[in-house]
Amino acid sequence: MHPPRLEYEKRIKALDDVLRQLDQRGAWLANGRLVTFLAGAGLITATAFHKLPAWGLWAGMLSLAAFAFLASVHSRVLNQERRASVRKSLNQRGLQRLAGQWRQFSSTGEKYLSADHLNAPDLDLFGPASLFQRLDETGTQRGEARLAEWLASPRATTAELTERQGAVDELSHQVDFRQELITETRVASSEKADPEKFLQWTEGKNHLAGTAWAFFLAHVLPPITFVVCSLAYDNVISSSWGWACVAAQALVVGLTNKRLGAMYTQLTQAESGFVRFAPIFTAIAKSQLTHPLLKRLRAGIAEGALPVPQRLTRFERLLGFAELRHSSQFHAVLNWLLLWDLHWLHRLETWRRAHGQGARAWFEALAEFEALSALATYRYEEPVAVFPQISDGPLHFTAEALCHPLLDAPVANDFQIQGPGEVWVITGSNMSGKTTLLRTVGLAVVMARAGAPVRAKTLRCSQPHVLTSMRIKDSLERGVSYFYAEVQRTKRLLDAAKAQPGQCLFLLDELMMGTNARERQIASREVVRQLLLSGASGAITTHDLSLTEWTGDTRAHNVHFSDEVHNGQMHFDYQLKRGVVTTTNALKLLEAAGVPMPHS
């Protein structure tokens, strides 16, 4: 397989050729449909007005049959064109991600963002320019939610994460399968479909309870009515018998119409295009996957007495007959003569009872496939990324050449937490990279706990709970000042650290900025001391150099980022160095912005 960029470009070129051919074929078929329809209509009309002999009628019917055939073929060509167009857009999205243009994508996951989350707002997990926006390549709302859950609320064991990593690794090589999966979901629904209402119907109550007698009559009355009316027409029996049978059928329709209508309304509101999901499950069922996790997910769809694609195909066929209700006048006559609704809605109810309780598991498996495929796409596009070596036991995090996953040209740094009760105090000039390092470490843990690869040479870690304080905002609506908002955030972090002793990694940016220097020093030291007493470890950034003079029974490391001035321009190397920073740049930045500053 080519490198990602070349592979995407090759696929786009091939799909352009396919689309060109399909467009030409579609134009030919459209013209053929028009010609055969006009010919058929003209021949039949001419025959009806005695302009042609009887053979004109047969020729007209043959032309209309040709029209129907061409219409069917044209429909298939249009579907192929739709699929090719979607596939092309997927490869174009791939090129956009590789070019750093993924920030233009509409799916930001902002609805999953909670201001009270212990790390999501600070680490840019959701929202514009977020990790979710970079990763999301799902096709249903359930798949999207599964990916968001893995990022924001990971609950997998170490063994489960190791298995998930293996599945992601295998799927990263299955470009065709991943693109087919997302293509079929987007063909089935123009927007990300949500199966919840459909599942509520499949798992709900029987809306046709008490109408079994009518379902029986639907099989008996129409043939009896046909026979009786035929005999009455031939004057074998009185015509009143025929009218009695017809009236009996009308009575059955009247007695059952309310229940049948209520069921059909709920069904059509819930279905929302899920009859078209059979090709999606067919793609999964036909896939040649070898990883145990993927095989288990596939088995729930492809195996059993009746595989899921066949179940949905049968549902689609039954619903197609029931949808005759949309043709109001034709439906009214047919329902009266054949008790049409009773036949097909009862069969749909039978389908629901037979397969409805298992439907949730189908879509759970699909959501898992989607989320795994999204991570696999990231793995494919970041071939130098590595899977973290995750282990149980005490808190630890050792990364070599760790990079921020959302920056186009990140600088790599090493970072190590060897166990509980350890703190890194990071100093440095403004814009030198202190906060970016915190986010890099936090995102690495989030991605490790999701089962994703990370941009690093190596990463070995446990599964710490990440606690952050970086973007504190005041709230005029709630009457909360900046400092009090910071106090509330700090209290939540301390409570979380005490609830998970020895399992939390804190990342704190400029603690207690909302108060004076003396109280900030006292409060910051005490907050970190309490976090360390709970067994938490982590890192803090500060401009207050007094915090680097750490005392107490802790393992503290002073590190810093530096800057240099060349020809009046500030330059940063974003490389983490040992020790405390020896330079500052606040006055230099003010001068560079045109604000005069005194010189010492």
Mean pLDDT of 316-322: 86
- Does the pLDDT of residue 262 top 90, yes or no? no
Mean pLDDT of 570-599: 73
What does the pLDDT read at residue 514?
A: 64
Mean pLDDT of 297-318: 88
- Does the pLDDT of residue 258 top 70, yes or no? yes
Check residues 104 and 524 and name the one with the higher pLDDT.
104
Q: For 454, which DSSP code?
A: B
Residue 489 contacts residue 522 (beta carbons within 8 Å) = no
Nearby residues of 542 by Cβ (< 8 Å), 6 or more positions away: 425, 426, 427, 510, 511, 524, 548
Strand-strand pairing, 504-509 and 537-541? parallel
Run of H or E residues at 92: helix 55-98
The mean pLDDT of the chain is 88
Number of H helices, E strands in the chain: 20, 12
Strand-strand pairing, 577-578 and 504-509? unpaired
- Of the listed ranges 20-24, 115-119, 303-307, 506-510, the least confidently predicted one is 303-307
What does the pLDDT read at residue 553?
A: 53
| Cα angle 545, 546, 548; round to 5 | 70
Per-residue pLDDT reduced to its tens digit, 368-394: 999 999 999 999 999 889 999 999 989
Both tokens of 8, joined, read 């995407």
Residue 559 contacts residue 578 (beta carbons within 8 Å) = yes
* Residue 83: band (very low, low, confident or very high) from pLDDT cuts 50, 70, 90: very high
* Residue 593: band (very low, low, confident or very high) from pLDDT cuts 50, 70, 90: low
Residue 266 contacts residue 205 (beta carbons within 8 Å) = no
* Residue 591: band (very low, low, confident or very high) from pLDDT cuts 50, 70, 90: low
Nearby residues of 137 by Cβ (< 8 Å), 6 or more positions away: 90, 93, 178, 182, 373, 374, 377
What does the pLDDT read at residue 272?
A: 66
Mean pLDDT of 155-181: 95
Side-chain half-sphere exposure of 321, counting CA atoms within 13 A = 18
What does the pLDDT read at residue 462?
A: 95
Mean pLDDT of 208-220: 88
- CA 283, distance to chain mean position in Å, is 18
- Does the pLDDT of residue 273 top 70, yes or no? no
- Does the pLDDT of residue 548 top 90, yes or no? no
Burial code (b: 16+ CB inside 10 Å, e: under 16) for 533-571 equals bbbbbbbbbbebeebbebeeeeebebbbbbbeeeeeebe
Nearby residues of 386 by Cβ (< 8 Å), 6 or more positions away: 453, 454, 456, 457, 458, 459
What single-letter amino acid sits at 205?
K
Spatial distance between the Cα atoms of 69 and 57, rounded to a whole number of angstroms: 18
Run of H or E residues at 570: strand 569-572
Total residue length of the chain: 600
* Residue 475: band (very low, low, confident or very high) from pLDDT cuts 50, 70, 90: very low
DSSP letters for 137-189: --SBHHHHHHHHHHHHS----HHHHHHHHHHHHHHHT-HHHHHHHHHHHHHH-
Nearby residues of 160 by Cβ (< 8 Å), 6 or more positions away: none
Run of H or E residues at 457: none
* Residue 26: band (very low, low, confident or very high) from pLDDT cuts 50, 70, 90: very high
Both tokens of 583, joined, read 């330079």
Per-residue pLDDT reduced to its tens digit, 326-358: 776 778 888 888 888 888 999 999 999 999 888
Spatial distance between the Cα atoms of 131 and 374, rounded to a whole number of angstroms: 12
Strand-strand pairing, 563-566 and 569-572? antiparallel
Phi and psi at 563, nearest 5°, equal -140, 165
Q: Is 49 exposed, middle or buried (0-12, 13-18, 19+ CB in 10 A)?
A: exposed
